[in-house]
Structure 1
Amino acid sequence: MSESPLKNLTFLKSFQFERVLNEDPVTHSLTLLGKLPDSSNPEAFCNAILRIDKTALSSDSVESVWTALDTIKLIEHTDIYGWLFAWLKPSTERPDVKISVVHPATEIHIRKYSKQQILMVKETPQLYNTIVKPYIDAFPTSRLQWVYNILSGKSEAEKVLFRDDDPDYGFVILPDMKWDLTTTTSLYLVAIAISRDIHSVRDLTKGHVPMLRKIQQEAKKIVQERWKLDPGALRFYIHYQPSYCESLLRSAPTRLRTHPILHIIDHFHVHIVNANFIGTMGSTVGQALLFDNVISLLELDPDNTTEGIFQRVTLTYGLGDQHGLYEPMKVAQEGL
Structure 2
Amino acid sequence: MSHPAAPKDLKSLHRFKFERILNEDTLTHTVIFLGYLPEPEEDEDVQAIVRIEKTAIDPVQVPSIFQSLSGIDKVELEQSTDIYTWMFGWLGPCRERDVKINIICPATEVHVRKYMRQEQLMVRETPELYDKIVKPFIDGFPASRTKWVENILSGLSEKNKVLVSTPDYLILPDMKWDRKTVSSLYLVAIVQDRSIRSLRDLTKKHLGLLQSIRHDAEQVVHRKWGLGKGSLRMYVHYQPSYYHFHVHIVNANYQGLMGMSVGQAHILDDIISLLEIDSDEGPGVFQKMTLTYGLGDQHGLYEDMKAALN
Interval containing the TM-score (normalised by the shorter chain): 0.7 to 0.9
Partner Cα distance (1:7, 1:156) in 2: 16
How far off its partner does 1:322 sit?
0.2
Aligned partner of 1:314 among 273, 278, 290: 290
How far off its partner does 1:329 sit?
0.3
How far off its partner does 1:67 sit?
5.3
Partner Cα distance (1:188, 1:50) in 2: 21
Name the residue aligned to 2:67: 70
Name the residue aligned to 1:98: 100
Partner Cα distance (1:40, 1:332) in 2: 48
Give the alignment of 1:320-335 within 5 angstroms.
320-334=296-310
- TM normalised by structure 2 equals 0.87
Name the residue aligned to 2:35: 34
| 2:68–2:92 Cα contact (<8 Å) kept | no
Q: Residue by residue, what CA displacement relative to the aligned partner does 1:186-241 show, whole Å, maximum 9, x if unpaired?
A: 10000011101111111111111111111011011111111111221110010001
How far off its partner does 1:69 sit?
5.4
| 1:11–1:37 Cα contact (<8 Å) kept | no
Name the residue aligned to 1:56: 56
How far off its partner does 1:154 sit?
3.7
Give the alignment of 1:1-336 within 5 angstroms.
1=1, 6-41=7-42, 43-57=43-57, 61-66=58-63, 70=67, 90-91=92-93, 93-165=95-167, 170-243=168-241, 265-302=242-279, 304-334=280-310
Partner Cα distance (2:140, 2:6) in 1: 32
Of structures 1 and 2, the one scoring higher in RCO (CA 8 A, sep 6+) is: 1
CA RMSD of aligned residues (A): 2.1
| 1:240–1:287 Cα contact (<8 Å) kept | yes
Code of the aligned partner of 1:209: L
Secondary structure, aligned partner of 2:262: coil
Q: Which has the larger radius of gyration?
A: 1
Cα 1:314–1:51, aligned 2, differ >3 Å: closer, same or farther?
Answer: same
Partner Cα distance (2:228, 2:182) in 1: 12
Cα 1:71–1:270, aligned 2, differ >3 Å: closer, same or farther?
Answer: closer
| 1:69–1:89 Cα contact (<8 Å) kept | no
Q: Residue by residue, what CA displacement relative to the aligned partner does 1:239-260 show, whole Å, maximum 9, x if unpaired?
A: 00112xxxxxxxxxxxxxxxxx
Cα 1:89–1:266, aligned 2, differ >3 Å: closer, same or farther?
Answer: closer
Partner Cα distance (2:117, 2:68) in 1: 34
Code of the aligned partner of 1:320: G
Cα 1:9–1:155, aligned 2, differ >3 Å: closer, same or farther?
Answer: closer
Indicate the percent of aligned positions where both proteins have the same amino acid: 53
Partner Cα distance (2:239, 2:178) in 1: 26
Code of the aligned partner of 1:9: L
| 1:70–1:89 Cα contact (<8 Å) kept | no
Partner Cα distance (2:68, 2:101) in 1: 24
Partner Cα distance (1:154, 1:322) in 2: 32
- TM normalised by structure 1 equals 0.81
Report the more deviating stretch, 137-146 or 279-288.
137-146
Q: Residue by residue, what CA displacement relative to the aligned partner does 1:244-282 show, whole Å, maximum 9, x if unpaired?
A: xxxxxxxxxxxxxxxxxxxxx221000000111112231
| 2:231–2:251 Cα contact (<8 Å) kept | yes
| 1:163–1:172 Cα contact (<8 Å) kept | yes
